[in-house]
């Protein structure tokens, strides 16, 4: 199977995010191929992004090869992540998360039409 490699202009991770991801990879099983970034439709709120460890590479996956791990993104998700930077932010008191910077707006998403006086969600 041939996978397409991503460059840092396609998708990037900050140094902080790479460090946290590398730390997390020391705590998982050896057969894990990488971390999959995925998109799910969120209705009125547009698209939500998430990440999970995966042991699978599919034919439509793109791969960002980092030093000690891979970031895996399918074609459909990559359409929404072009130029995005993934960061890790620790706000203290256990409030830490990966964040997606530079996301592009999605046509037709948002609550301006959903739940407003003239519109609703269907």
Q: Is residue 50 a part of any domain in this protein?
A: yes
Q: What CATH number has the domain bearing residue 68?
A: 2.60.300.12
Q: Is residue 119 a part of any domain in this protein?
A: no
Q: Is residue 113 a part of any domain in this protein?
A: no
List, for residues 44-78, the tens digit of each pLDDT value: 667 888 999 999 999 999 999 999 899 999 999 99
* pLDDT on residue 3: 54
* pLDDT on residue 72: 97
Q: Is residue 63 a part of any domain in this protein?
A: yes
What percent of the chain is modeled with pLDDT above 70?
A: 80
Residue-number span of the structural domain to which 57 is assigned:
12-101
List, for residues 79-90, the tens digit of each pLDDT value: 999 999 999 999
Q: Is residue 6 a part of any domain in this protein?
A: no
Cα-based torsion angle of the residue sequence 15, 47, 35, 2 in order, rounded to the nearest 10 degrees? -110
Q: Is residue 71 a part of any domain in this protein?
A: yes
> Which element (helix H / strand E) includes 22?
helix 15-25
- Residue 24's nearest CA partner among 81, 64, 71, 77 is 71
Backbone angles phi, psi at 20, to 5 degrees: -65, -40
Rounded average pLDDT over 25-31: 87
Q: Is residue 2 a part of any domain in this protein?
A: no
Letter string b/e over residues 27-39, b meaning 16 or more CB atoms within 10 A of that residue's CB: eeeeeeebbbbeb
Q: Is residue 107 a part of any domain in this protein?
A: no
What is the number of domains present in the chain?
Answer: 1
DSSP of 25-86: HTTS-TT--EEEEEEEE-GGG-EEEEEEEES---TTEEEEE-SS-EEEEEHHHHHHHTTEEE
């Amino acid at each position: 199977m041939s996978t397409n490699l991503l460059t840092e202009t396609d998708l990037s991770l900050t140094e902080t995010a790479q460090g946290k991801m590398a730390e997390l990879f020391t705590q998982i099983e050896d057969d894990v191929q990488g971390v999959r970034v995925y998109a799910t439709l969120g209705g009125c709120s547009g698209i939500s992004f998430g990440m999970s460890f995966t042991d699978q590479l599919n034919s439509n996956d793109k791969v960002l090869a980092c030093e000690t791990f891979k970031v895996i993104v399918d074609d459909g998700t990559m359409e929404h992540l072009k130029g995005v930077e993934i960061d890790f932010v620790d706000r203290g008191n256990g409030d830490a998360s990966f964040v997606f910077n530079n996301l592009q707006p999605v046509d037709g998403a948002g609550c301006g039409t959903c739940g407003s006086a003239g519109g609703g969600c269907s």
